Amino acid sequence: MATIYDIAREAGVSIATVSKVINQTGRISDKTRKHVQDVMKRIDYQPSVVASALTKKRTYSLGLLIPDIANPFFAELARSIEDQAHELGYSLVICSTDNDLTREERYVNVLRQKSADGIIIATGARNDAMMKQLMKYKLPVAVIAREMPLLAVDTVLVDDYLGGYLAASHLTGLGHRNIAVIAEDLAVMSSKERVRGYRKALEEAGIPYDENLVAVSPFHVEGGKATAKELLSSSNPPSAIFGCNDLLAIGVVQAARELGLRVPEDVSVVGFDNTVLATIIDPPLTSVAQPVQQMGKEIVQLITGEIDGSKPSKQRLVLLPELVVRGTTSAV
Amino acid sequence: MATIYDIAREAGVSIATVSKVINQTGRISDKTRKHVQDVMKRIDYQPSVVASALTKKRTYSLGLLIPDIANPFFAELARSIEDQAHELGYSLVICSTDNDLTREERYVNVLRQKSADGIIIATGARNDAMMKQLMKYKLPVAVIAREMPLLAVDTVLVDDYLGGYLAASHLTGLGHRNIAVIAEDLAVMSSKERVRGYRKALEEAGIPYDENLVAVSPFHVEGGKATAKELLSSSNPPSAIFGCNDLLAIGVVQAARELGLRVPEDVSVVGFDNTVLATIIDPPLTSVAQPVQQMGKEIVQLITGEIDGSKPSKQRLVLLPELVVRGTTSAV
DNA sequence: GTGAAAGCGCTAACAC
DNA sequence: GTGTTAGCGCTTTCAC
């Protein structure tokens, strides 16, 4: 690999001059700038960011902590983050943690050693300790699609309370009164909020709260399926189920089918996230959409603003979810 | 951030000694090693890999060039690669290129500037020029799930010819004789091979080749759907369709449904890749499975072997696909 | 406008 | 066993 010395020698200037044309700093005559650029192009020179990182304290890379890149929702989120990051000159290091604390810590250490300029966190709940650590390191941190109450950290998320409300009130509006909800883990704020929104909608519709209709399940299809089977085989089965994410909701659809129930005629189902999966199943899933594109864009802007100090204060940006009605919901 | 000097001072030794305990090189007495380790732990010191990279010429990061991380097949592949890379101490930088040559070049330059230790390529076809460039840079490169014939590069892939053959002969075995195939792009080797396997199976079954039954489509659900609709509304519609990936196959299922045809009673459908999607739709999709876990593991072993020179020669590892029969195929 | 030189945090050769 | 020191490829004062 050619170094800045090669370019300097070849161009007959000093390395300082080359550095200045690379970074567009200092004052350089048009003539030498052109000339140096020509040489760089001819040699196909790529300045080493590892060397520049040593003095500039900038690696132009961001860590992305997510539960699992193979999970469609997070993959879509990652893609939108990647695009915006790339746009602004940053690369993305993916870190799938399975919400496992040990893995999370290992990854955070890797990112520290590699001097990532910032970390975007999309993983689960109870890592407040880790968050505080990160902030102690002065490592810019931003949280996406998750809420960290009581922590001063840049955040972009959807109004989960509203989302849960939209889902449930769509159902009550269709005349359903016996509505169950399957959450992934009430320790996760977003999950809790969605359930709270659900309760609010029921309350507004004058439906008394029934705790038997609030179930918790591991957040994958199988979990949703098993949980839904229980709910649907009870003595007083719900006529509608709200799955707190698309995976769970799809599990519900499969459970219904296996029990010989038709969707939506016998059971209505609503999901959350509006991933590709929602459009792929049959009937297509009614789901609450998160504006993934915008979320990715905003979070990158927040964290890069934080990184180069161009942003005065931390903020929490709450975007509004939208209900996308498809084929899994109908009137009772 | 604490530096090696801080540790040295605090421990009352030289930085060379600290470096030696970090890297487990040289000879250090048990006593001082212990002591230095204690200090490092107490200070929560993380050695800077950007500094060490400057001398060691190793960043311990790998670039992953894929079409789109939001595509389930590639997301699953990325996850398996990430896990193995992490295991061996490497991080993964994701680069979604949409198979766009400009984006690919941009990303490759980024990876060069960042001194990635190697690049794993899972993107499309006609980038032979880029490949040769990379090899000229002496940047370790490995190709996964793609074939680069005539190029000496480490490769892990599935036998696509066999895969296509398995899919089609499953269909002929069920008595189908009018079998269509939808490929994503015949310029992509893997696609071409799958179609070749399909033809081989038909030939073995004594079915004459009909070029009207070989269609090409953009590789997403909509593409598969539109193409399938054409095929299925022709004067002599196929009784079975082989979609060269799950997305395409799901498009076929949707097309059939919209045309009022039942799957598998009226049309049988086979996919390829066996992604989560296959298990999510109804009926679940019969699909040819790629051993994604193993592929990820092997490719990382190949490229890291290449990186530290512990591997004598390049190799191409061909794994065997497996047909997973589910609900979208039945006898005529 | 341009260049000399110090230094970023580490590794590795070599001296002791 | 441990320490000194010369780089790695770049940025950034500060002279000129």
Element (H or E) spanning B251, and its range? Answer: helix B246-258
Q: Which two tokens stand for residue A117?
A: 């300029």
Q: What is the SS3 string spanning chain A? A: CCCHHHHHHHHCCCHHHHHHHHHCCCCCCHHHHHHHHHHHHHHCCCCCHHHHHHHHCCCCEEEEEECCCCCHHHHHHHHHHHHHHHHCCCEEEEEECCCCHHHHHHHHHHHHHCCCCEEEECCCCCCHHHHHHHHHCCCCEEEECCCCCCCCCEEEEECHHHHHHHHHHHHHHCCCCCEEEEECCCCCHHHHHHHHHHHHHHHHCCCCCCHHHEEECCCCHHHHHHHHHHHHCCCCCCCEEEECCHHHHHHHHHHHHHCCCCCCCCCEEEEEECCHHHHHCCCCCEEEECCHHHHHHHHHHHHHHHHCCCCCCCCEEEECCEEECCCCCCCC
Nearest CB partner across the interface for B113, out of A49, A71, A279: A49
User: Is B125 a residue whose pLDDT tops 70?
Assistant: no
Least confident of A296-305, B234-243, B268-277, B309-318: B309-318
**B30: part of which helix (H) or strand (E)?**
helix B30-43
- B89 contacts: CB under 8 Å, gap ≥ 6: B60
Strand D nucleotides with an atom less than 7 Å from a protein beta carbon: 1-5, 7-14
CB A1 to CB B137 under 8 A?
yes
> How many angstroms away from the CA of A194 is the closest CA of chain B?
24
**What pLDDT score does B126 carry?**
67
**Cross-strand pairs, A51:** none
SS3 label, residue B328: coil
Per mean pLDDT, which of A206-215, B144-153, B184-193 is the most reliable? A206-215
Strand C contact with B110 (CB < 7 A) = no
What is the predicted pLDDT for the residue at A125?
64
For residues A166 and A152, what is the distance between their CA atoms, to the nearest angstrom?
28
Q: Which two tokens stand for residue A144?
A: 């996406």
pLDDT range class, residue B38, cuts 50, 70, 90? very high
Residue whose structure tokens are 């036998």: B159
Local confidence band at B187 (pLDDT 50, 70, 90 cut-offs):
confident
Sorting pLDDT into bands at 50, 70 and 90, what band is B97?
very high
Q: Identify whether B218 is preceded by a cis peptide bond (ω within 30 of 0).
A: no
Nucleotide nearest to B14 (CA to C1'): D3
In whole angstroms, give the CA distance from residue B182 to residue B191.
9
Please give the average per-residue pLDDT across B167-192, as a whole number: 94
**A-B interface: how many C-beta pairs under 8 angstroms?**
134
Tell me the per-residue pLDDT of B211-251, one tens digit each, with 9 for 90 and over.
Answer: 999 999 998 999 999 999 999 999 999 999 999 999 999 99
B203–chain A nearest CA distance, Å: 33
With a CB cutoff of 8 Å and minimum separation 6, the contacts of A13 are A32, A35, A36
- Asked whether the beta carbons of A125 and B59 are under 8 A apart, the reply is no
For residues A264 and A230, give the distance between their C-alpha atoms in angstroms, rounded to a whole number: 18
**Integer Rg of chain A from CA:** 25
3-state class of B203 per DSSP? helix
Taking the alpha carbons of B198, B199, B205, B210 in that order, is the dihedral positive or negative? positive
Q: What is the pLDDT of residue A188?
A: 84
Single out the residue of B132, B210, B114, B303 nearest to residue A60, CA to CA.
B114
- Please give, rounded to a whole number of angstroms, the shortest distance from the CA of A212 to a CA of chain B: 27
What pLDDT does residue B188 have? 84
Angstrom distance (rounded) from CA B175 to CA B240:
10
Residue B200 reports pLDDT greater than 80: yes
pLDDT in tens, chain A (332 residues): 899 999 999 999 999 999 999 999 999 999 999 999 999 999 999 999 999 999 999 999 999 999 999 999 999 999 999 999 999 999 999 999 999 999 999 999 999 999 999 999 999 766 778 888 888 889 999 999 998 888 899 999 999 999 999 999 999 999 999 999 999 988 888 999 999 999 999 999 999 999 999 999 998 999 999 999 999 999 999 999 999 999 999 999 999 999 999 999 999 999 999 999 999 999 999 999 999 999 999 999 999 999 998 887 899 999 999 999 999 999 98
The answer to whether A43 CB sits below 7 Å from nucleic acid chain C is no
Bases of chain C below 7 A from a protein C-beta are 1-5, 7-14
Cα dihedral angle (B16, B21, B27, B29), rounded to 10 degrees?
A: 110
pLDDT for A316 equals 95
Least confident of A25-39, A143-157, B12-26, B84-98: A143-157
Which nucleotide has the shortest C1'-to-CA distance from A16?
A: C3
